[in-house]
Amino acid sequence: APGGHGTAHGKGRDKGSLLDSVPKRGVLRVCTTGDYRPFTHREADGGYRGIDIDMARDLAKSLDAKPKFTATTWKEIVDDVADRRCDIAVGGVSITLPRARKTYFSEPTREDGKTPITRCADKDTYDTLDRIDRPGTRVIVNPGGTNEQFARDRIKRATITVHPDNTTIFQEIVDGRADVMMTDASETRYQARLHPELCSVHPDKPFTFAEKAYALPRGDEEFKEYVDQFVHLATHDGTYAAYEAQWME
């Protein structure tokens, strides 16, 4: 509506803050990919589970609102917030400078970085970028996010295969259709536990440094301030750690 306050849709640059409009409408619109355990996972029943899903539920509750989860892709997740299709994007999202030109980021929830995951038998073959980036090595990557960016920037000689489904990508390595993936250390730890054939390679010394955070609409200082406080408290009062322990187990 023209001059509308707290409009729930469209690109309209509403003058008010989401800090007021979210409680008023009773809904927090959350964009998430649902393909990145343990942060965001879409179940067969359509429900979302994971560390950042629990966090988003708590954030919504603290604003007297219900979370409304909308599925998106790694290619689109930051634009979803920049274009105000969602109030917040969650689920293992990395802070990058190109993204920070489009959205604000909350205070970080954790540190992470890219490290290899491969069949345990090949653990010592794929431990450095030089040893990975050789002709004949089959690097597999999910599209649209920082993993693909990293592979495109750093892999010149090995083959890159883009696998569109991040929920089945690790099985490709188990089955020998690919050799190695470079992804967040937290994910390599989680997936190595899920697939006993796979090993995480030096997850304590990843190739890159990245922080996970929530993407927020640019310009809404009051909402960012609130979400920062929420994240700060949850990451210091044991809430985030408890969700992590629950999902990492």
Ligand X SMILES: O=C(O)C(=O)C[C@]1(C(=O)O)C=C[C@@H](O)C=C1
Q: Which residues of this chain interact with ligand X, rule CB under 6 A?
A: 36, 74, 92-94, 142, 145-147, 166, 183-184, 187
The residue among 92 and 203 lying less far from ligand X, judged by its C-beta, is 92
Closest Cα to residue 118, out of 207, 166, 181, 194? 181
In eight-state DSSP terms, residue 94 is B
- In whole angstroms, the minimum distance from the beta carbon of 187 to ligand X comes to 5
Q: Is 228 helix (H, G, I), strand (E, B) or coil?
A: helix
Amino acid at 89: A
User: Which of 21, 40 has the CB closer to ligand X?
Assistant: 40
Tokens standing for residue 92: 């293992």
Rounded Cα distance, 179 and 177, in Å? 7
Residue 145 or 217 with smaller CB distance to ligand X: 145
Q: Output the smallest distance, CB 29 to ligand X, in A.
A: 19
Tell the smallest beta-carbon distance from residue 54 to ligand X (Å).
18
Q: Closer CB to ligand X, residue 99 or residue 119?
A: 99
Which of residues 118 and 147 has its CB atom nearest to ligand X in the complex? 147
Q: From residue 44, how far is each of 6, 34, 35 by CA, in Å? A: 33, 11, 12
Q: Cβ of residue 61: shortest distance to ligand X, in angstroms?
A: 25
Task: List CB contacts of 3: < 8 A, sequence separation 6 or more.
Answer: none
Indicate the pairing of strand 114-119 with strand 198-200.
Answer: antiparallel
Least CB distance to ligand X at residue 177 (A):
17
